[in-house]
Amino acid sequence: MEKKIIARRPHCLVLPHPAQGHINPMLQFSKLLEHQGVRITLVTTRSYYNNLQKVPPSISIETISDGFDKGGVSEAGSLTVYMQSFLQVGPQTLGELLEKLGQSGDTVDCVIYDSFLPWALDVSKRFGIVGAAYFTQNMTVSNIYYHVHLGKLQPPLTEDEISLPAMPKLQHKDMPSFFFTYGRNQFMFDLVVAQFSNIDKADWILCNIFHELEKEVVDWVTKIWPRFRSIGPNIPSVFLDKSGQDDQDYEFTQFKGEDCMEWLNTKPKGSVVYVSFGTMFALGETQMEEVASCLRECSSYFLWVVKASEDNRLPKDFEKKTEKGLVVTWCSQLNVLAHEAIGCFVTHCGWNSTLETLCLGVPIIAMPFYSDQLTNAKLLTDVWKMGIRAPIDDDKIVQRGALRDCIREVMESEKGKEIKSNATQWKTLAVKATTQGGSSHRNILEFANSLCHS
Ligand code: UDX
């Protein structure tokens, strides 16, 4: 009988920085590659492994060490100590993993590494394996850091307005916060700049954006890195073109959600303000007080995510479930943003939240706190024009009156209607980019095909 020759599927190791905001998009990207015949092994740290219960069964999981195998960042005591240790221990243990897989005949064809972990590229090159950098933040932010790497931009910023090729003009309030915390936290600044330390050796540079969203900067960087490809937004396809109905089962989170859908179902279309400040930043007491008072006084319904770590800072008399408002410790944000009752999103502008609100056409009120969030806020409000920025003082506190006015403007004014129409257009473009023939879809096919034929 004729023997059927089954082509070997290419095998990729996918190595995200071990935090939810990095693992989620890289996992979604992995699933897209799987659909194109690529086999995926997700690599995480031993300390983070237990958080990964929701990975699809078709994806294998391997672990490496960050030097704090029991407790990760909390065992290290600070992100800086943790990342320094990961930098020391990670490369050796990644090398050991590649050796182990090679010896067992499970050869790795490509390492897709989080750009926060550039040492992974050096390891893959040592093994003669294709290395693909994956940027979880957008290219406007990344291009700022790239210019620091080039020696063309340095803290402290002396110009009032920062002008870089193919980018909108940026004021200090739009620049990543690390420019202003440089003296106190040089490590984080060095870390984001180090993303480019060996980038010229990367075989591919992938970024969780879509071309139409950052057209100018993408065209500019593609001239420098011909193998730059936009492959996003990497969110479950059920929230984009609805092609993968099983997708949301694998939305990964280490937090326990609370059901708010029943409460949302009782609210009219576009009537609820959704408030959430992401996974990492915990609001202080005064910040909580101002947001709480605003939500109590404003005329809209609200759904507010107050993380367990912030709960004791919520004003004591603040009721967590009323006709007007609901406070939860966690929710499925994508399902919430997709609910027709949601009228706007008060957000810290983390990159995942930004992409999610954009894909679901929800207008925003930007309250950025640190890191890339300030630049994302600039893009959301002034470039993509799908929201407004709440005035925040130097201590990152928003005055309740100012936040209330912003909510009224987005939810009730003529400008609000314009903003909603812009948000809807971005949603259409995001869906188009990720469906058959769209820019990101084409780029993903090209990348997957290159692995299948290498
Ligand atoms: C961090 C940094 O703060 C940010 O600057 C960077 O861009 C990414 O990493 P994070 O605080 O995790 O961001 O926010 P974000 O990137 O927006 O990711 C939060 C994720 O948690 C989103 O995918 C969101 O859907 C999810 N989420 C949040 C929930 O599912 N439920 C919630 O209740 C809150």
CA of 331, closest atom in ligand 1: 33
Q: From the CB of 372, is ligand 1 less than 6 Å away? A: yes
pLDDT of 251: 53
The CATH number assigned to the domain holding 275 equals: 3.40.50.2000
pTM: 0.95
Q: Which of 303, 352, 360, 378 is the best mutation target for the ligand 1 pocket, counting ligand atoms within 8 Å of the beta carbon and taking the most?
A: 352
Q: Is 35 a catalytic residue?
A: no
**Is 329 in the same domain as 183?**
no
Residue 2 lies in a domain: no
**Is 446 in the same domain as 365?**
no
**Is 286 in the same domain as 382?**
yes
Q: Kindly write down the DSSP assignment for every residue of 211-249, as one continuous string.
A: GGGGHHHHHHHHHH-TTEEE----S-GGGTT---TTGGG
Q: Quick one: which H or E segment has residue 204?
A: strand 204-207
pLDDT tens digits, one per residue of 63-98? 999 999 999 999 999 989 999 999 999 999 999 999
Q: From the CB of 276, is ligand 1 less than 6 Å away? A: yes
Q: From the CB of 251, is ligand 1 less than 6 Å away? A: no
CA-based torsion, 122, 123, 126, 127: positive or negative = negative
Measure 151 CA to ligand 1 centroid, in angstroms. 31
Q: Is 114 a catalytic residue?
A: yes
Q: From the CB of 345, is ligand 1 less than 6 Å away? A: no
**Is 280 in the same domain as 219?**
no
Please count the structural domains in the chain: 2
Residue 22 lies in a domain: yes
Give backbone dihedrals phi and psi of 270, rounded to 5 degrees, phi first.
Answer: 65, 25
**Is 351 in the same domain as 226?**
no
Neighbours of 104 (CB within 10 A): 8
**Is 58 in the same domain as 175?**
yes
Buried/exposed code over 10-47 (b: 16+ C-beta within 10 A; e: otherwise): bbbbbbbbbbbbbbbbbbbbbbbbbeeebbbbbbbbbb
Nearest CA to ligand 1 atom 33: 330
**Is 166 in the same domain as 265?**
no
Both tokens assigned to 410: 């987005």
pLDDT tens digits, one per residue of 106-164? 999 999 999 999 999 999 999 999 999 999 999 999 999 999 999 999 999 999 999 99
**Is 240 in the same domain as 134?**
yes
Q: From the CB of 142, is ligand 1 less than 6 Å away? A: no
Edge-to-edge order in the sheet of strand 130-135:
60-64, 39-45, 11-15, 110-114, 130-135, 204-207, 228-230
Neighbours of 282 (CB within 10 A): 16
Give the chain's mean pLDDT.
Answer: 93
Residue 131 lies in a domain: yes
**Is 108 in the same domain as 139?**
yes
CA of 253, closest atom in ligand 1: 30
Q: Check 17, 66, 114, 348 and give the catalytic one.
A: 114
Buried/exposed code over 118-152 (b: 16+ C-beta within 10 A; e: otherwise): bbbbbbbbebebbbbbbbbbbbbbbbbbbbbeeee
Cα gap 301→61, rounded to integer Å: 42
Q: Look up the domain containing 223 and give its range.
A: 11-250+434-452
Cα gap 345→419, rounded to integer Å: 12
